[in-house]
Amino acid sequence: MDVSWICITTMDYAKMCLVDLKNAAKVHRPPIKYYYIKSRKELIDILSLAEMPQTMIKEKLRIQDLRAQAKARNIPNIWRMRRVELMELLYPDPKEDNQDDDDAKEHDTPKKGERKNVRV
């Protein structure tokens, strides 16, 4: 059993120095992206989270993991796709799906007496 891991998980991150925080982030699962350039405060915030946000987990997914997910969904031509294309296919942006929301604002319902704005 690795005693250093036990010490890291039970310690208070606020009392740790930057080197110890980076070592804790290095062995953290799921992996923390760019842990080696993050500030002390950022590392403390991330390591203190009970569960990592899905956005952070998705950023750290390897292309092998994405291909395995695409293969499980029976998506064709996964070997030709780059990581960015696989991410867009497997995790579509919810903002892009709502294209009709902006169009509703363009149409204006005329009020009584405004006949010049009414077109047939």
**Under 8 Å between Cβ of 91 and 83:** no
61-94 exposure pattern, b = at least 16 Cβ within 10 A, e = fewer:
beeeebbebbeeeeeeebeebeeeebbeebeeee
User: In this predicted model, what pLDDT tens digit does every residue of 2-31 receive, in sequence order?
Assistant: 444 444 454 689 999 999 999 999 998 888
Q: What is the pLDDT of residue 39?
A: 94
Query: 98 falls in which pLDDT band (50, 70, 90)?
Result: low
The phi and psi torsions of 6 (rounded to 5 degrees) equal: -65, -40
The pTM of the whole model exceeds 0.75: no
**Average pLDDT of every residue of the chain:** 80
Q: What is the pLDDT of residue 31?
A: 84
Q: Specify the residue for token string 């969904």.
A: 73
Q: Which of 59, 117, 115 is nearest to 91 (CA)?
A: 59
- Which of the pair, 2 or 75, is modelled with greater confidence? 75
Secondary structure of residue 84 in the 3-state scheme: helix
User: In this predicted model, what pLDDT tens digit does every residue of 50-61 receive, in sequence order?
Assistant: 888 888 888 889
